[in-house]
Amino acid sequence: MNKLVIRKVLSAIVIVLVVIAALYVYLVAEPSTMSEEVETAGEIVEEIAEQAETADDIDPMMIPLCKGGKDHERRNYHGYSICYRESYEQAEWAAECLTREKLQRKVNRSENFRPDEGISTGSADTSDYYGSGYDRGHLVPAGDMGWDSEAMNDTFLMSNMSPQNHKFNSGIWNDLEMQVRNWAKKFGTIYIVTGPVLESGKKYKVIGKNR
């Protein structure tokens, strides 16, 4: 089977299991089980990846679609892409390709949180999070971009942020980010798509002046 197909299939598996593990642990499991659940998800991913090496009936899986129009804006950055939703003031998804080579850290975390001036309708602002009780949660992790200063800096654009409970952000989400880097180290190249659950027509709690 074509190696590119295998990697794309693996990326889809990673996405699904990351979301399932995160939701399960955050909503159901006790905090002490976080690392255990991430480890279990990792074992499943690796088992399926090994099976995919001999599979020949799986179609290639590509980057998600961004519908276009005023509420869907596709933007490309150094190292990743997003589909920005103005109605939610955050990205519907953020996609990156993480390789073993990119794990070689050359630059430190920048902490340069700032609005994304490239979003035509305007992005969320850092002030939207002040006093909200929520973290500015990265979709594409800064930890994946230590290979380049521009890539690192781009991850701190507010268009790459989603409001996250601090316990979730520093716990299971951080565990998952580290596990994904372990998969990149083991498999060489993986494709990652991350995003919030945005249900059409559903009203969500909002924060800040940009809502």
Domain ranges of the chain: 3-194
Q: Distance between CA 124 and CA 119 in Å, rounded?
A: 10
Confirm if 185 and 103 have CB atoms less than 8 A apart: yes
Q: Which two tokens stand for residue 192?
A: 């990652």
In the residue annotation, 72 being an active-site residue is answered as no
Asked whether the predicted pLDDT for residue 135 surpasses 90, the reply is yes
Q: How confident is the model at residue 11 (pLDDT cuts 50, 70, 90)?
A: low
Return the pLDDT at 166.
Answer: 97
User: pTM surpassing 0.85?
Assistant: no
d(CA 171, CA 6): 30
What is residue 104's predicted lDDT score, i.e. its pLDDT?
95
State the amino acid at position 147 in one-letter form: W
Q: What is the pLDDT of residues 97-129, one digit of tens each?
A: 999 999 999 999 999 999 999 999 999 999 999
Q: How far apart are the first and last CA of the chain?
A: 47
Q: Bridge-partner residues for 80, per DSSP?
A: 96
Q: Measure the CA–CA gap between 105 and 4, rounded to whole angstroms.
A: 25
- State the average pLDDT over residues 175-190: 95
- Residues 211 and 204: their CA atoms lie apart, in Å, by 10
Q: 3-state class of 112 per DSSP?
A: coil
Dihedral of the alpha carbons of 112, 116, 118, 122, in degrees to the nearest 10? -160
Tell whether the model's pLDDT for residue 25 goes beyond 60. no
Q: Which pair of tokens denotes residue 67?
A: 């519908």
With bands split at pLDDT 50, 70 and 90, how would you rate the model's confidence at 20? very low
Question: Cα–Cα distance between 161 and 116 in angstroms, integer?
Answer: 11
- 75 vs 38: CA distance, rounded Å: 30
pLDDT value of residue 41: 53
Of residues 182, 96, 181, 112, the one with CA closest to residue 152: 112
Distance CA 181, CA 160 (A): 19
HEC states along 115-184? CCCCCCCCCCCHHHHCCCCCEEEECCCHHHCCCCHHHHHHCCEHHHEEEECHHHHHCHHHHHHHHHHHHH
Reported as a pLDDT band with limits 50, 70 and 90, residue 139 is: very high
Q: Average of pLDDT values for 159-185?
A: 96
Domain made up of 3-194: CATH architecture: 3-Layer(aba) Sandwich (3.40)
72, 78, 138, 166: which is the annotated catalytic residue?
138
Q: Identify the bridge partners of residue 114 per DSSP, sorted by sequence position.
A: 157
